[in-house]
Chains A and B, each alone.
Chain A
Amino acid sequence: MSSFVDFKDVYKRYNMGEVTITAVDGISFEIEQGEFAVIVGSSGAGKTTVLNILGGMDSCDEGKIIVGGTDISRLDEHDLASYRRYDIGFVFQFYNLVPNLTAKENVELASQICKDHKDASQTLASVGLSDRVNNFPSQLSGGEQQRVSIARALAKKPKLLLCDEPTGALDYNTGKQILKLLQDTCRKEKMTVVLITHNQAITPMADRVITMKSGKVTSNVINETPTDVSLIEW
Chain B
Amino acid sequence: MTSTLRKNVFRDITKTKARFISIMLIVALGVGFFTGIKATAPSMDASAEEYYIENCLMDIRLLSTVGFGEKDVEEIRALPHVRTATASYYTDVIINSEGDGSVIRLYSDIKENEDGYTLNKPILHEGRLPEKKGEITLESSTFGNGGYALGDTLTIQPKAGDNEVGDILESMEFTIVGFAQTPLYISFDRGNTDIGNGKINLYGIICEDDFKYDRYTQVYVLTDYSDGSIPTLDENFDSLIDSLETQFTDLGAERAVYFDSEYLSDARKKLEDAKEDFRKEKEKAEKEIADAEKKLNDGEKEFNDKISEAKESLDNAKKQIDDGEKQLEQGWKDYYKGIEDAQTQLDNARAQLQTAKADLKTAREEFNSKIAQAQRELNAAEREYNSGLDEYNRGLAEFNAQTLPAKAGLELLKLEYENELNKFENFTKPDCERIIGECSSVIENAQAEIESYKSELEQTDSVIRRSFLRLEISSRETLIDTTQRTLERYQKRLDDAQKEVDSKKEAYDDAKRQYEEETAEPKAKLDEAKAQLDAAKEQIDNGKAELAQQKAAGEQALSDAQTQITQAQTALTQGQTELAAKKNEGWQQLKDSEKQLSDAKELYEEGKTEFEKQKADGEQKLKDARSEFEEKKTEAQEDLNDAQAKLDKAEEKLNDMENPEWYFFTRRDNPGYTSLIDDTTRVDAVGAVFPLFFMLVAALVCLTTLTRHVEEKRTEIGTLKALGYTTKAIMSQFLFYSTAASLAGCVLGIGFGMMILPRVIYNAYGIMYMLIDLKLKIPVLPISAGVVTAFVCTTLVSLYTCMRVLREKPSELMRPKAPKIGRRILLERMPFIWNRMNFTSKVTARNIVRYKARFFMTVIGVAGCTALILTGFGLKNSISSIADKHFGEIYTYDMIAVLEEEGTAHEYANLLSDIEQNDDIDTAMLQRQVSIGVKSENGKEMNDDIYMIVPQSVERMENLIHLRQRRDGAKIELTDEGAVVTEKMADKLGITIGSTITITEDNKKHDVKVTGISENYIFGYVFITPQCYKEIYGRDVLYNMMLCGMKDANTQSENRLGAYCLDKDGIVAVSFISGSINSFLDTISSLDLVILVLLVCAGLLAIVVLYNLTNINIEERVREIATIKVLGFYNGETCAFVYRENIILTLCGIIAGLGIGVVLHRFVILTIEINKTMFSRDIAWWSYLLAAVLTAVFAAVVNFIMYFKIKKINMVESLKSIE
Contact = CB atoms under 8 A, between A and B. Distances in A.
A52 interface: yes
A86 B1129 CA distance: 11
A14 to B, nearest CB: 11
Interface stretch (B480-488, B678-686, B877-885, B1116-1124): B1116-1124
Given A57-B1212, A164-B1215, A105 B1127 contact: no
B850 A93 contact: no
Interface in B824-882: 838-839, 842-843, 846-847, 850
A78 interface: yes
Interface stretch (A60-68, A109-117, A124-132, A205-213): A109-117
B822 interface: yes
A142 to B, nearest CB: 12
Contacts of A138: 818-819, 821-822
Interface of A: 48, 52, 55, 57-58, 77-78, 81-86, 88, 90, 92-94, 96, 98-102, 105, 108-110, 112-113, 136-139, 152, 156, 164
Given A58-B1212, A109-B1127, 19 more contacts: A57-B1212, A84-B1125, A84-B1126, A84-B1127, A85-B1127, A85-B1129, A93-B1217, A96-B1119, A96-B1123, A98-B843, A99-B821, A99-B1120, A101-B822, A101-B846, A113-B1133, A136-B821, A136-B822, A138-B818, A164-B1215
A134 B819 CA distance: 18
Given A99-B822, A109-B839, A55 B1218 contact: no
A81 B1126 CA distance: 8
Interface in B312-371: none
A101 B842 contact: yes
A70 B488 CA distance: 151
A117 to B, nearest CB: 12
A108 B835 CA distance: 13
A157 to B, nearest CB: 13
A92 B822 contact: no
A110 B1127 contact: yes
B1213 to A, nearest CB: 10
Given A136-B822, A138-B822, A112 B838 contact: yes
B1130 to A, nearest CB: 5
A119 to B, nearest CB: 16
Contacts of B1215: 48, 52, 92-93, 164
Contacts of A84: 1125-1128
A78 B1211 contact: no
A106 B838 CA distance: 12
B157 interface: no
B15 interface: no
B1214 interface: yes
B842 A105 contact: yes
A57 B1211 contact: yes
A156 B1126 CA distance: 13
12 contacts: A55-B1126, A57-B1125, A57-B1211, A92-B1214, A92-B1215, A96-B1119, A96-B1122, A100-B850, A101-B839, A101-B843, A102-B822, A110-B1127
A196 to B, nearest CB: 10
A11 B847 CA distance: 41
A88 B843 contact: no
Interface string B1181-1219: 000000000000000000000000000000110110110
B839 A99 contact: no
A113 B822 contact: no
B1128 A86 contact: yes
B301 interface: no
Contacts of A110: 1127-1128
B71 interface: no
A105 B839 contact: yes
B820 A81 contact: no
B1212 A100 contact: no
A116 to B, nearest CB: 13
A100 B1128 contact: no
Contacts of A82: 1128
A178 B850 CA distance: 31
Nearest to B1130: A81
A164 to B, nearest CB: 6
B1020 to A, nearest CB: 61
Contact of A90 (B1120, B1127, B1218): B1127
Nearest to A96: B1123
A84 B820 CA distance: 29
A55 B1217 CA distance: 18
Interface string B297-314: 000000000000000000
A92 B1129 contact: no
Nearest to A52: B1212
Contacts of A99: 819-822, 1120
A102 to B, nearest CB: 8
Given A52-B1212, A113-B1128, A98 B1120 contact: yes
B1129 A81 contact: yes
Contacts of A102: 822
A164 B1124 CA distance: 16
Nearest to A152: B1127
A94 B1215 CA distance: 7
A77 B1132 CA distance: 12
A81 B1125 CA distance: 7
A83 B1131 CA distance: 14
Contacts of A55: 1126
Contacts of A81: 1125, 1128-1131
Nearest to B843: A100
A136 B1133 CA distance: 23
Contact of B1130 (A78, A98, A137): A78
Closest 7 interchain pairs by CB?
A: A85-B1128, A84-B1128, A136-B822, A57-B1211, A96-B1123, A100-B846, A100-B822
B1217 A57 contact: no
A113 B843 contact: no
A76 to B, nearest CB: 12
Nearest to A149: B1123
A126 to B, nearest CB: 19
Contacts of A112: 838-839
A92 B850 contact: no
Contacts of B823: 136
B822 A137 contact: yes
A195 to B, nearest CB: 14
Contacts of B1119: 96
Nearest to B1120: A98
Nearest to A136: B822
A84 B1130 CA distance: 10
Given A57-B1126, A113-B1127, A96 B839 contact: no
A94 to B, nearest CB: 6
A82 B1127 CA distance: 9
Contact of B1217 (A58, A86, A94): A94
Contacts of A83: 1128
Contacts of A101: 822, 839, 842-843, 846
Nearest to A113: B1128
A82 B1131 CA distance: 11
Interface centre among B839, B850, B1128, B1133 (most CB of A within 10 A): B1128
A68 to B, nearest CB: 16
B771 to A, nearest CB: 57
Nearest to A169: B1217
Contacts of A100: 822, 842-843, 846-847, 850
A195 B838 CA distance: 32
A105 B1123 CA distance: 15
Interface in B1094-1151: 1119-1120, 1122-1131, 1133
A83 B1218 CA distance: 26
A105 to B, nearest CB: 6
Interface in B552-590: none
A197 B1125 CA distance: 23
A96 B1128 contact: no
B761 to A, nearest CB: 48
A88 B1129 CA distance: 12
